[in-house]
Amino acid sequence: MPDRVSAAASQEARDRTSRQNASLLRLKRRVLKTPSSVLIARRRVREFVAYFADRYGDQLPDDDIGRRSLDIALVHLAESKRSNPDKAVRDFAKQWAPWLDDHEHEEMVDEAFNRCRRRRWNADDAAEVIGLTFSDRSRLGITMIGAIDKKKAARAGRRRKIKNEGTGSARKRCEAAQSISGANEAVGATWYQPCQMVSSQEGRPSRWDD
pLDDT tens column, 140-195: 999 999 999 998 888 888 778 787 777 666 666 666 666 665 555 555 544 344 44
Average confidence score pLDDT of the chain? 79
For residue 117, pLDDT over 80 is answered with: no
The DSSP output letter for 132 is: -
Record the pTM.
0.63
- C-alpha to C-alpha distance for 146 and 122, rounded to whole angstroms: 8
Mean pLDDT of 126-152: 94
